């Protein structure tokens, strides 16, 4: 019925089914598509783990409202895909954006190179299930700034630069960063990790941090 209604009210030709992103909430997930003409169409939700292995059977759903597919939430899904047919072979998958855990990085200061530690920190915590990072910068070298800019373009991090005219010992910016990140991450994620550039947290065994706290 919705598919027929969609054709009347949204007379758009069906384009190839391509995806924008997947979002995980407490009891369901939503996959956003960018294809025209799919309003009201029956589709299937597919789930994949961190190693791209398929999880369980596809779940039937539909495109409603336009460009949105509501799916059951799978607690181990790192990637999702949408198909028209249940057993369709898929190559396009999108990562599941789950803001269960964010990270607040203590302010960066000093002119020494930070790019290697920074890349290691981001990639380590991404493997642990962290999907968004708040980065505070007092001082940064030029090469590390290029790396930060690349991560910022990906949407994975948000960068906050402190004003240079506020002159004080660099370490005194730590509490400013903590207070801001408490408010900035509030209502965006369930938990926030506060850490320094050289700190790494891991769960015991084969669990990720997200597995441990869920």
Q: Are residues 92 and 105 in the same domain?
A: no
Q: Which of 70, 98, 126 is the last residue of a domain?
A: 98
- Residue 33, SS3 per DSSP: strand
- Residue 180 binned pLDDT confidence (cut-offs 50, 70, 90): very high
Q: Are residues 155 and 199 in the same domain?
A: yes
Among all chains, which residue has been given the structure tokens 């299937």? Answer: 44
Q: Tell me how far apart the alpha carbons of residues 140 and 143 are, in angstroms, rounded to a whole number.
A: 8
Q: Give the residue numbers spanning the domain of 15.
A: 2-98
Judge whether residue 86 has pLDDT over 80: yes
Q: Are residues 122 and 207 in the same domain?
A: yes
**96, 132, 158, 167 from 78: Cα distances, Å:** 5, 14, 21, 43
Q: Are residues 176 and 118 in the same domain?
A: yes
Q: Are residues 48 and 128 in the same domain?
A: no
Q: Are residues 58 and 162 in the same domain?
A: no
Which of 64-68, 142-146, 208-212 has the least mean pLDDT? 208-212
Residue 11: per-residue pLDDT: 58
Query: What would the two tokens of residue 34 be?
Result: 């960018």
Residue 13: per-residue pLDDT: 78
Q: Tell me how far apart the alpha carbons of residues 110 and 34 are, in angstroms, rounded to a whole number.
A: 44
90-119 mean pLDDT: 91
CA dihedral 135, 136, 138, 142 (to 10 degrees): 10
Q: Are residues 87 and 126 in the same domain?
A: no
Q: Count up the domains in the chain and report the number.
A: 2
Residue 117: per-residue pLDDT: 97
Model confidence pLDDT, tens digit, residues 6-36: 455 555 678 889 998 898 888 899 999 988 8
Among all chains, which residue has been given the structure tokens 């759903």? Answer: 61
**107, 108, 139, 145, 176 from 161: Cα distances, Å:** 9, 10, 9, 11, 12
| Domain containing residue 38: CATH number | 2.60.40
What is the gyration radius of the CA atoms in the chain, in angstroms? 21
Model confidence pLDDT, tens digit, residues 143-179: 999 999 999 998 899 999 987 766 677 677 888 899 9
79-83, strands of its sheet edge to edge: 59-62, 42-48, 79-83, 94-98, 19-24, 28-33, 68-72
Q: Which of 81, 98, 115 is the last residue of a domain?
A: 98
Q: Are residues 105 and 93 in the same domain?
A: no
Burial class (CB in 10 A: 0-12, 13-18, 19+), 134: buried
Q: Are residues 67 and 108 in the same domain?
A: no
Q: Are residues 76 and 118 in the same domain?
A: no
53-71 mean pLDDT: 95
Beta bridge partners of 31: 22, 69
On whether the CB atoms of residues 103 and 130 are closer than 8 A, the answer is yes
Q: Are residues 94 and 105 in the same domain?
A: no
Q: Which of 36, 63, 98 is the last residue of a domain?
A: 98
Q: Are residues 112 and 165 in the same domain?
A: yes
Using a pLDDT cut of 90, give the percent of the chain over it: 55
142-154 helix and 115-127 helix, angle to the nearest 10 degrees? 30
């Amino acid at each position: 019925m919705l598919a027929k209604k969609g054709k009347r009210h949204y007379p758009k030709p069906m384009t190839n089914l391509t995806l924008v992103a997947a979002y995980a909430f407490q009891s369901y997930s939503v996959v956003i598509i960018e294809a025209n003409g799919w309003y009201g169409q029956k589709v299937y939700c597919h789930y994949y783990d961190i190693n791209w292995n398929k999880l369980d059977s596809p779940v039937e759903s539909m495109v409603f409202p336009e460009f949105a597919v509501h799916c059951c939430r799978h607690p181990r899904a790192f990637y999702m895909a949408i198909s028209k047919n249940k057993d369709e072979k898929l190559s396009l998958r999108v990562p599941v954006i789950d803001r269960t855990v964010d990270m607040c990085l203590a302010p960066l200061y000093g002119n020494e190179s930070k790019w290697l530690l920074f890349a290691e920190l981001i990639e380590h915590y991404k493997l642990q299930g962290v999907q968004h990072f708040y980065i505070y910068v007092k001082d940064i070298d030029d090469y590390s700034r290029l790396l930060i800019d690349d991560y910022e373009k990906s949407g994975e991090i948000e960068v906050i630069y402190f004003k240079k005219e506020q002159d004080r010992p660099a370490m005194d910016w730590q509490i400013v960063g903590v207070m801001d990140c408490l408010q900035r991450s509030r209502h965006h994620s369930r938990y926030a990790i506060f850490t320094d550039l050289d700190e790494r947290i891991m769960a015991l065994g084969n669990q990720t941090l997200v597995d441990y706290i869920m």
